[in-house]
A and B are shown apart, each in its own frame.
Chain A
Amino acid sequence: MTGTLAVLAPAIPAPRIEYAQLSPLLLVFGAAVAGVLVEAFAPRPLRRALHLPVAFGGLAGAFALTVAVAVASPVFSGGRPGDIAAVGAVAVDLPTLFIQGTIELLALISVLVIAESSHEVSAFAAQAAAVPGSSAERESLAAGISHTEVYPLTLFAVGGMLLFPASNDLVTMFVALEVLSLPLYLLSGLARRRRLLSQEAAMKYFLLGAFSSAFFLFGIAMLYGFSGSVRLSAIAAAASGNTSGGVLLYSGIALLGVGLLFKIGAVPFQAWKPDVYQGAPTPVTALMASCTLASAFGAVLRVFYVAFGQLTWDWRPAMWAVAIVTMLGGSIIAVTQTDVKRLLAYSSIAQAGYLLTGVVAASPAGLAGTMFYLAAYGATIVGAFAVVTLVQGHGGEAAHLSSWAGLGKRSPLVAGVFAFFLIALAGIPLTSGFMGKFAVFQAAISGGATPLVIVGAISSAILAFPYVRVIVLMFFSEPPQDGPVVVRPSGFTTTAVSVGALVTLVLGVVPEPLLRLAHDAAARLFVG
């Protein structure tokens, strides 16, 4: 009797979950769930006061845990390059921890901007479901309702972002992609001003995002068909032993690549970026421009270094082409922009192109350079978008460039800080932007991609023009009669802007500590 049972129901071993190593992820998701509970049970006036400690505590705690994992893990003491946790689903290695730490810190700064409530007009819609211009919307505005759901949504998105680059198999990666994307679709539609534009942005983002997810899934199917596994390392092993053609393999790489490149906004998959960056509430744009980019690049690096690391010669030409059109396309179209958010969106497309040159290098130096660039660029762009939230006209942000004229005269400090961010984005030395560019370009030239770097240099020169034009407007033009003003920020935004500016300056002058950290982390690449 017992024998038959044993045959019928073999003992199912409980999966070993490395809770300690997964603790940063778990903490962020836990905080997100706590946020949902707050939303469900706490009375409306109390919610914001409860959300803030949960969100800040969750992110700061996650960062502390990430540091603890990095310090305590045997990775540092030599031996293995990393651990595979959660039964092969999640990789814990130094590059991933570096990227996760970056995302957590950048998310912390972004949440500071999101939490700003002292503005006369909040950045978020009162009742997103209300039809724009309807009486329901007016009522909700009059009642002073605000969407506190942004905090748990942000935390879910950040949780997905943390998991995305850490995924060790493609199915986990797909789940992470959806977890990070769905809250962002919602958040994009929450802008209070220009509701229709915001809703259009959310719709576009959702449709195109769903489309690209389909590509991603299709790619997974192809690669599974090729290798019989969704594990990155198994795919790598199958690919290295591959002698026959491999239509499945190459179409799988291409389809997976489309899904990933969509997320980083590389040309020709960039169409969503300007619309979404413009339409989304600016604090959410800051989150997307910094954290989502870091997370997506982390995933790109993992997939192309681990799963397709043996096939560098096969994917590199395509990646070259994408990098070239991304750098040139982003910078050339940025020249014609008249909206500061769209301008930053196109510039972020071009910056993604510079980051891709680090990916193309396919070396530890390329990995380290890309990681350093992500941290440096993220801090700068969050700060820049935080400044954008401060320049307000009647009833909200004044994003049109013409209204920025003469800002340097009315608010020299804010205009000066924004000019500093622009100079950093343009990659002038003594700012973090220059060091980041230097790091990836150096890796790319070492990897034999000199023509790519020459294109990058030309693109940087083109991209300098729109930045410089904004500086010209702010400092060298006369202010209009009743132009927008810089609102006095509360401590939240002030902190975000100051941290952004400080990081931009410090990483430009003494980049050594972070560069060393990135190089040490990248020395042994990802765990396979």
Chain B
Amino acid sequence: MSTFPWLTVAGALPLAGAAVICFVPGAAAPGGEADRARRDQFVKWTALVATLAALGVTGAMAAAFDPGGPRFQFTQTYSWIPQFGIHYAVGVDGIALVLIVMTAILMPVVVLASWWDAEGRGNPAGEQPPKRSVKTYFALLLVLETMMIGVFAATDVFLFYVFFEAMLVPMYFMIGSYGVGQRQYAAVKFLLYSLLGGLLMLVAVIALYVYSAAGGRAGTFLFLPLTHLALSATAQRWLFAGFFVAFAIKAPLWPFHTWLPDAAASAQPGAAVLLVGVLDKVGTFGMIRYCLELFPAAAHWFGPLAITLSVIGVVYGAVVAIGQRDLKRLIAYTSVSHFGLITLGIFAMTSQGQVGATFYMVNHGFATGALFLIVGFMIARRRSQQIADYGGVQKVAPVLAGLFLVASLAGLALPGLSTFASEFLVLIGTFTRYEAAAALATTGIILAAIYMLWMYQRTMTGPVRPEVAGMRDLRPRELWAVGPLIALIIVLGVYPRPVIDLIGPAVRQTLVTVHATDPVPPHPAVAGQNRSTP
């Protein structure tokens, strides 16, 4: 392991791109329409190059990561605010690494897919294109990437919190300024929900520090020392609750989910991908990293509650998704359902469940990302988010329809696609401990088939609607954006080993910290013996 600051560089590259973009003259600068178009082109290419560079660095990190090595790798620790024991400390375990790589893969994809979003070309019909600054949009995207990498890379609880909260600001402007429909309402709802959760978590974060400083010790925010803190059961439960509510709002877990459909429906498709694909993962990542490891006893105590909420979320999200008329809202509700499965896997406290849950975080990012992007391409053409306005698209745009089908099938976890492996692992892992919960959650898969296939049927099949007749198939740029995601869904479905190998040791470490062991399934012979000799 070299001393090269990999994580810092990966996080700084997008920020550098944003800085470059800031120096490009804005719309008010002199020059005609052609000059402005050329500047906008430059901004977009800068964003693409910066995100690709970050992807290169994270890719190199993934190659250099040693799954059998120390828990955290590529670590750096500098004192930031010594008065409060705050550090700039970064490092990744397998879980954080795969999420960072997922983020880095999604970013260039989103930049490509959002090429014309700032100009409002994908807005529904009748809505005035907002004519916002192109450079601000891409600068916000890049700043957001820095914060997303930072939030997964932080190994100091305070640093994590800083990124966790600061991340809200760029996303808030991306929804509120560049979104569609009820964008103001959605942006404010998103921000206030997240802020309330975040502030309650702040209380818990500070309290954690105060406990670490008890008895005259120097307090610290570093993650690893905090896992050795001997907290009383009551203190653990309160602190767990503070963290958990913030993460549950972020994730979003039922009943804290109501902001997500609004925000996702109002965001541009690219922003929606990052919102659901990455920002929400911070919630589930936070649960597995912080809720479980910092407060193991409380995690067991709250486990049944979290499992119950997850199962409700799985079924509720799926049922509500079936009833949606708006494409983006529908996908948002499917995500509520899928996040239920992820938290189910986390709180089942089995290695299969947590490996599955982490793998699902990655797969969900790709699958839902692809869905949002393709739906975005459709909306940009037809200028409507309503399912009823489509029909027979597969006859006029077969490539679009085909990729949409693959993404939908990934959404319903068809065997052979990556989501299947992860969903299966989650359900198995849950079944060994909570049989009823696993059984109920399985109905989510059946419901998923209904909402996904029905959505496909209503939009893609049937007679070609006159408004759809002239719809163009995917352009090369759009293919470049969504192609890699579809490829990853298929490749990871067939050969998930590389990712599982990265996740496995980190999950085992988590379970050791939480003092959880996999339940041993009764051996059939032993079980039979017991029955024969009463």
Chain A residues with CB under 8 Å of chain B are 412, 423, 426-430, 434, 438-439, 441-442, 445-446, 450, 453-454, 457-458, 460-461, 464-465, 468-469, 471-472, 475-477, 511-512, 515-516, 519
Number of interface residues of B (CB under 8 A): 35
A429 touching B83, Cβ below 8 Å: no
In the complex, which of the residues A427, A461, A476, A515 contacts B83, with contact meaning CB atoms closer than 8 Å?
A: A515
Across the A-B interface, give the 10 residue pairs with the lowest CB-CB distance, nearest first: A457-B199, A429-B162, A461-B196, A476-B176, A429-B165, A476-B184, A429-B166, A515-B83, A442-B206, A445-B210
Residue B399 CB within 8 A of the other chain: no
A441 / chain B contacts, CB cutoff of 8 Å: 202-203, 206
B188 / chain A contacts, CB cutoff of 8 Å: 465, 468-469, 472
| Alpha-carbon distance A472/B184, docked complex (angstroms) | 7
Given contacts A412-B133, A438-B84, list 16 more A-B pairs with CB under 8 A: A426-B195, A428-B165, A430-B162, A438-B202, A445-B206, A450-B203, A453-B203, A458-B199, A465-B188, A471-B176, A472-B176, A475-B176, A476-B184, A477-B184, A512-B82, A512-B83
Given A465-B192, A472-B188, A519-B83, does the pair A423, B203 have CB atoms closer than 8 Å?
no
A512 touching B191, Cβ below 8 Å: no
Residue B16 CB within 8 A of the other chain: no
Interface centre among A457, A469, A475, A511 (most CB of B within 10 A): A457
B81 touching A457, Cβ below 8 Å: no
| Alpha-carbon distance A89/B200, docked complex (angstroms) | 44
B210 touching A446, Cβ below 8 Å: yes
B26 touching A461, Cβ below 8 Å: no
A453 touching B169, Cβ below 8 Å: no
A468 / chain B contacts, CB cutoff of 8 Å: 172, 188, 191-192
In the complex, which of the residues B26, B169, B203 contacts A412, with contact meaning CB atoms closer than 8 Å?
A: B26
| Alpha-carbon distance A9/B184, docked complex (angstroms) | 80
A472 touching B84, Cβ below 8 Å: no
A446 touching B213, Cβ below 8 Å: yes
B195 touching A453, Cβ below 8 Å: no
Residue of B nearest to A511 (CB): B81
Interface string of B77-97 (1 = CB under 8 A from A): 000111110000000000000
Residue B173 CB within 8 A of the other chain: yes
Residue of A nearest to B201 (CB): A457
In the complex, which of the residues A429, A460, A476 contacts B177, with contact meaning CB atoms closer than 8 Å?
A: A476
Residue B187 CB within 8 A of the other chain: yes
Residue B434 CB within 8 A of the other chain: no
A423 touching B169, Cβ below 8 Å: yes
Min CB distance B220 to A, Å, is: 13
| Alpha-carbon distance A516/B81, docked complex (angstroms) | 9
B83 / chain A contacts, CB cutoff of 8 Å: 512, 515-516, 519
In the complex, which of the residues A429, A457, A511 contacts B161, with contact meaning CB atoms closer than 8 Å?
A: A429
Interface string of B155-199 (1 = CB under 8 A from A): 000000111011011001100110000011001100110011001
Min CB distance B338 to A, Å, is: 28
Interface centre among B26, B162, B199 (most CB of A within 10 A): B199
A428 touching B203, Cβ below 8 Å: no
In the complex, which of the residues B80, B133, B163, B200 contacts A512, with contact meaning CB atoms closer than 8 Å?
A: B80
Interface centre among A412, A427, A475 (most CB of B within 10 A): A475
A446 / chain B contacts, CB cutoff of 8 Å: 210, 213
| Alpha-carbon distance A434/B198, docked complex (angstroms) | 12
Residue B388 CB within 8 A of the other chain: no
Interface centre among A412, A453, A461 (most CB of B within 10 A): A461
Min CB distance A412 to B, Å, is: 7
Residue of A nearest to B80 (CB): A512
Residue B64 CB within 8 A of the other chain: no
B200 touching A454, Cβ below 8 Å: yes
| Alpha-carbon distance A475/B172, docked complex (angstroms) | 11
Residue B19 CB within 8 A of the other chain: no
| Alpha-carbon distance A464/B195, docked complex (angstroms) | 8
| Alpha-carbon distance A512/B85, docked complex (angstroms) | 11
Min CB distance B168 to A, Å, is: 7
| Alpha-carbon distance A233/B183, docked complex (angstroms) | 59
A430 / chain B contacts, CB cutoff of 8 Å: 162, 166
A423 / chain B contacts, CB cutoff of 8 Å: 169
A442 / chain B contacts, CB cutoff of 8 Å: 84, 206, 209-210
| Alpha-carbon distance A472/B191, docked complex (angstroms) | 11
| Alpha-carbon distance A472/B206, docked complex (angstroms) | 31
Residue B471 CB within 8 A of the other chain: no
| Alpha-carbon distance A489/B203, docked complex (angstroms) | 41
| Alpha-carbon distance A441/B133, docked complex (angstroms) | 39
| Alpha-carbon distance A279/B166, docked complex (angstroms) | 35
| Alpha-carbon distance A458/B196, docked complex (angstroms) | 7
Given A461-B196, A464-B195, A476-B177, does the pair A453, B206 have CB atoms closer than 8 Å?
yes
| Alpha-carbon distance A160/B210, docked complex (angstroms) | 38
**Pairs A–B under 8 Å by Cβ, sample size 16:** A423-B169, A427-B199, A434-B162, A442-B206, A442-B209, A446-B210, A450-B203, A450-B207, A453-B206, A457-B199, A457-B202, A461-B195, A512-B81, A512-B82, A515-B81, A519-B83
